């Protein structure tokens, strides 16, 4: 696990990295129900790796707007048949998309290299300690319980990240193991999502890699008038723009298309997202 963790952290200092999404859920907004079965999940993991994903992000609880939270036992039950096999079968690192410390602990035991916490180590009081003890890297994502249209979202993100980083330091997570995510689509209006993307460069003074997850999200609906399965070009455009503002990691459903786009981007622009 530590070898793959370190390889991934070294990679994102050199070039843009693509994180492929693999949801083993019945209700994710884009691919819910497609990969719950063991064979389907394994086939998709191998496909993402073959298409060039640098890391595969496995999630067993939907975090889409209006989602129904699941208990720890249910989340673990969805992961148990597939997670360890995915880690063994794919040559690239695996991350787990969870905000529960018990799930993170089990995933680290299965060989997961990165904990992708949509609550930035703040929802479960044991999460930072679990990450530290397990030696995993962590994605710290900005989130809010509710939407406040009058909020200065960039200032709120900084307050949130400052608190998360303090929790990480107290637990003993090395700063070099941390990645920040502005949380596009989480606790924000559509206008605030755009502001967060536009203001990514204001987070670069943290000296940490930035991850962006905009794949197929509803922020494209009013811009493109497109359904979930018709947002690929918009997603690539947003991710390329995010890269110019310092993003280094891109969490996407469509891996092959993003790998091609970022080969061109990195050849021309280089890697502005290197911390």
Residues known to be catalytic: 217, 251
Q: How far is CA 213 from CA 14, 76, 78, 108, in A?
A: 20, 24, 23, 22
Q: Which helix (H) or strand (E) holds 166?
A: helix 153-171
First to last CA, the chain: 23
Residues 247/211, Cβ–Cβ less than 8 Å: yes
Cα angle value 213/218/214 (rounded, 5°): 10
Alpha-carbon distance of 257 to 231, in angstroms, equals 12
Q: How far is CA 258 from CA 48, 206, 226, in A?
A: 11, 26, 19
Place of tokens 């399965």: 229
């Amino acid at each position: 696990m530590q070898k793959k963790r370190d390889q991934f952290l070294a990679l994102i200092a050199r070039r843009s990295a693509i994180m492929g999404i693999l949801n083993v859920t019945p209700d994710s907004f884009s691919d819910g129900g497609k990969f719950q079965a063991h064979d389907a999940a394994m086939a998709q993991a191998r496909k993402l790796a073959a298409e060039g994903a640098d890391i595969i992000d496995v999630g067993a609880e939907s975090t889409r707007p209006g989602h129904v939270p699941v208990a720890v036992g249910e989340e673990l039950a969805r992961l148990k048949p597939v997670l360890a096999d995915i880690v063994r079968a794919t040559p690239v690192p695996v991350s787990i998309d969870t905000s529960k410390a018990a799930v993170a602990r089990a995933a680290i035991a299965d060989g997961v290299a990165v904990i992708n916490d949509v609550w930035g180590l703040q929802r479960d009081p044991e999460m930072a300690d679990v990450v530290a003890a397990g030696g995993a890297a962590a994605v710290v994502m900005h989130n809010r319980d509710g939407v406040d249209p009058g909020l200065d979202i960039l200032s709120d993100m900084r307050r949130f990240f400052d608190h998360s980083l303090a929790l990480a330091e107290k637990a003993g997570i090395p700063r070099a193991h941390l990645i920040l995510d502005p949380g596009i689509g989480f606790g924000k209006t559509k206008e605030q999502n755009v502001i967060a993307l536009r203001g990514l460069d204001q987070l670069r003074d943290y000296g940490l890699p930035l991850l962006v997850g905009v794949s197929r999200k509803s922020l494209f609906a009013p811009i493109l008038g497109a359904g979930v399965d018709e947002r690929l070009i918009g997603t690539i455009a947003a991710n390329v723009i995010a890269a110019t503002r310092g993003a280094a990691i891109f969490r996407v459903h469509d891996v092959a298309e993003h790998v091609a786009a970022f080969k061109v981007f990195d050849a021309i622009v280089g890697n502005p997202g290197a911390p």
